[in-house]
Amino acid sequence: MKVVSFFHLKEVRWAISETDLAAFRGEFPGVEIQSVEDAGDLPRALADAEAFVGWTFPRALFASAPRLRWVQSASAGIEANLFPEMVASDVVLTNGAGLHSVSIPEHTLGLMLALARNIHKAVRIQAEHRWDRFGVIAFAGGVRELAGSRLAILGAGAIGISLARLASALGMTVRVLRRRPDHPVEGAEEVVGPDRLHEVLGWADFVVLATPLTDETRNLIDARALAAMKSSAFLINVARGEVIDDDALVDALRRGAIAGAGLDAFREEPLPETSPYFALENAIVTPHVSGYTATYFQKVLDLFRDNLRRFVRGEPLRNVVDKRLGYVVG
């Protein structure tokens, strides 16, 4: 059995270390694990591969990998792997659901606290070498507290569920929007279905996008959705950039139709320097780092090792994606 490892995602490059490869080979003597670092070597490596681990399997090479049976994505978001040939095939797709259940909720809380306390405004004032206490206090409707405020979480995967628990512990009132509202979420006072989107947007002081990217969630936050939000509310996106209509959000931020936004994912990445998001005083931009932690790659390897054991033994794999829906059902 042969497994190919290839970790390239835009500007990010990584490879399994020789030490880790040796450990894998020691545990799985009947498995050849080939770590590919040059994309030009992929066609030959994948020609006889039965499994693949990395962020995205290259669509152009799918037809030339006839023995492929399993793809392990290191990412929770797997839309790039859901090309028609993959969806129609018998190849099992598993993802990294759960790997970010600590890092992304904590990053989200960091963005929420920064926006609530106007720290983004204070940093801009600091860059100008100015002391302006009232400029910080009065910005974007004033400084507020998370405790006692209302949080709407759109999406109830591992990230949304973890965030609901943490936010509730901070004294926030939480409502979660999910496809199956009959499934409760710890820490949420109510779980609602997609038909109540605008209702929950109008109720919230903070709206966090934690949904997978599907046909249903693409451009979910459009001009109508933003108009449903309170002018004092903040939008946080740790999902995918395509969930937001950028023109509508930029317009809403410029007009003060919402108080601000914390954005970690974008339709185009790297975000071009001409993007209006960089210049908006009421927006915080982080370069898609919410999922990163110093232990991230170790977590990826731990998940892959566990699933490889299961694959070799013919046991059910963790995080199997429903390729028609576009996410793990559980």
Beta bridge partners of 35: 5
Per the listing, tokens 């990217």 go with 213
**Residues 6 or more apart whose Cβ sits within 8 Å of residue 91:** 68, 69, 70, 71
Q: Which residue has the higher pLDDT, 190 or 76?
A: 190
- pLDDT category of residue 12 using cuts at 50, 70 and 90: confident
Pairing of strands 70-73, 51-54: parallel
- In this predicted structure, the answer to whether residue 9 has a pLDDT above a threshold of 90 is no
- In this predicted structure, the answer to whether residue 113 has a pLDDT above a threshold of 90 is yes
Using CA atoms of 246, 252, 253, 255 in order, give the dihedral in degrees to the nearest 10: 140
Mean pLDDT of 179-192: 97
**H/E segment holding residue 116:** helix 103-116
Mean pLDDT of 314-330: 93
CA dihedral over 209, 95, 287, 241, signed as positive or negative: negative
**Are the C-beta atoms of 267 and 220 separated by less than 8 Å?**
no
Q: What percentage of the chain reaches a pLDDT higher than 90?
A: 97
- For residue 211, CA distances in Å to 39, 158, 328 come to 30, 10, 12
Catalytic residue (one of 145, 269, 281, 315) = 269
Mean pLDDT of 257-261: 98
pTM: 0.93
For residue 199, indicate whether it is catalytic.
no
**Structure tokens belonging to residue 271:** 């975000």
pLDDT in tens, 217-235: 999 999 999 999 999 999 9
DSSP state of 65: -
pLDDT for 269 equals 94
Mean pLDDT of 297-325: 97
Mean pLDDT of 197-209: 98
- Angle, in degrees to the nearest 10, between helices 103-116 and 119-127: 70
Domains of the chain by range and CATH?
2-99+293-328 (3.40.50.720), 103-285 (3.40.50.720)
pLDDT for 10 equals 84
For residue 288, indicate whether it is catalytic.
yes
- In this predicted structure, the answer to whether residue 329 has a pLDDT above a threshold of 90 is no
**Residue 216 is which amino acid?**
E
**Are the C-beta atoms of 157 and 98 separated by less than 8 Å?**
no
For residue 269, indicate whether it is catalytic.
yes
